[in-house]
Amino acid sequence: MEYDPSMFQHGVKPSSQFDNPTDPLNYALARLNEERDVTLRLTPHIDTLNDVILRLIKDRSQSISSAVVELGTGTGATTASILQRSPDTQLVCVDFNTSRLERAAVRLASHLGQITFEVSDAVNYLRTIKDDSVACIVTASMLHNLPLQYRRIILSEVHRVLSPGGMFVDADKHGYRDPHIDEELFRQQIALIAQNFMDKPEYSRDWVAHFTEDYDKDEKREDYLGYLEDMGFEAQSVFGFGLDIVVSAQKIKTK
């Protein structure tokens, strides 16, 4: 299936030129290659992390025949990993940024028959879904970018729409309550950025600023897991590497 603007839902049509009016397809491909390079520099263990995400989805449903909702699809890096490893999966890909979803459509060109794109922020999309009706919701590297109060609203909606026993999978960065461990992991993250972007000092500067801002508003992993438990999830960290963790949260009770 080829890229078609009509694949985007809610009547929001993407711009026709990606971000560049001269050669949108090649521009999008170049941006995707650049983003893949940046991801590998920032998260060398990204393939292992994605394997854990897929295993959790498979544990929830052996066939993964029902649609999985992905919040914050971005340009489709996690999406591509899921679909390459599990060709039977159907995904609803949600992101408020049309330009990113356009690049995701390019990245996922061989899987478009398995995807429904929704141009929407997470809360507004989730509020269109009935209670207890979704088997699995996935998000990666999204929640830490949002204000804490807004994260809480998203998590409340996630809990509401998941069916009993449904699974929420969240891959993101979280520090520790222990300040010594926390500061050491943050120092290692900054050192990794400096080392891996020696040839791109502007990237190094921007990413250090980004991670410093995130670190200042970080919700520690112990607090995050405790909050999910209080909401009615059975939550645990199933993968950890530095500040990166994958959390599985199974809905065990309805509010």
Q: How many CA atoms lie within 13 A of 180 on its CB side?
A: 0
Using a 10 angstrom Cβ sphere, with 0-12 exposed, 13-18 middle and 19 or more buried, the burial of residue 162 is buried
Quick one: 235 and 196 in the same domain? no
Taking the CB of residue 32, how many other CB atoms lie within 10 A of it?
A: 18
Residue 162 and residue 182 in one domain = no
User: Would you state the structure tokens that stand for residue 162, as one six-digit string?
Assistant: 């998941």
Q: Which residue type, as a one-letter code, is found at position 154? A: I
In terms of domains, do 203 and 241 share one? no
* Residues 52, 47: Cα–Cα separation, whole Å: 9
Query: 210 and 98 in one domain?
Result: no
The CA distance from 101 to 162, in Å, is 24
CB 118, CB 93: distance < 8 Å? yes
- The range of the structural domain enclosing residue 206 comes to 176-217
Given this model, what pLDDT does residue 52 score?
Answer: 93
Whole-angstrom Cα distance, residue 45 to residue 183?
Answer: 21
pLDDT along the chain (255 residues), means of 10: 41 37 54 65 84 84 68 91 84 91 88 92 95 94 89 96 94 93 92 86 85 82 96 95 94 78
Q: Can you give the pLDDT at residue 29?
A: 54
d(CA 93, CA 106): 14
pLDDT of residue 24: 55
pLDDT of residue 5: 41
The CATH number of residue 20's host domain is: 3.40.50.150
212 and 223 share one domain: no
Give the C-alpha separation, 249 to 246, whole Å: 10
Same domain membership, residue 228 and residue 200: no
Residues 24 and 136 in one domain: yes
What is the predicted pLDDT for the residue at 143? 92
Residue with tokens 């690049």: 103
User: What sign has the CA pseudo-torsion 182, 184, 188, 194?
Assistant: positive
Which residues, 6+ apart, have CB-to-CB distance to 198 below 8 Å? Answer: 204
Examine the domain organization and report whether 77 and 189 are in the same domain: no
d(CA 19, CA 25): 10
Do 73 and 127 lie in one domain? The reply is yes
One domain for residues 121 and 196? no
Q: Please tell me the predicted confidence (pLDDT) of residue 159.
A: 97
In sequence order, what are the beta bridge partners of 198? none
Same domain for 33 and 74?
yes
> How many domains is the chain built from?
2
Residue 115 pLDDT: 93
Distance (Å, rounded) from C-alpha 15 to C-alpha 27?
A: 14
Helix (H, G, I), strand (E, B) or coil at 136: strand
Torsion, Cα 43 48 50 53, to 10 degrees, reads: -130
Name every residue whose Cβ is closer than 8 Å to that of residue 104 and which is 6 or more positions away in sequence: 73, 74, 75, 76, 79, 93, 95, 117
Question: Within this chain, do residues 66 and 101 fall inside the same structural domain, yes or no?
Answer: yes
What whole-number distance in Å separates Cα of residue 81 and Cα of residue 54?
Answer: 8
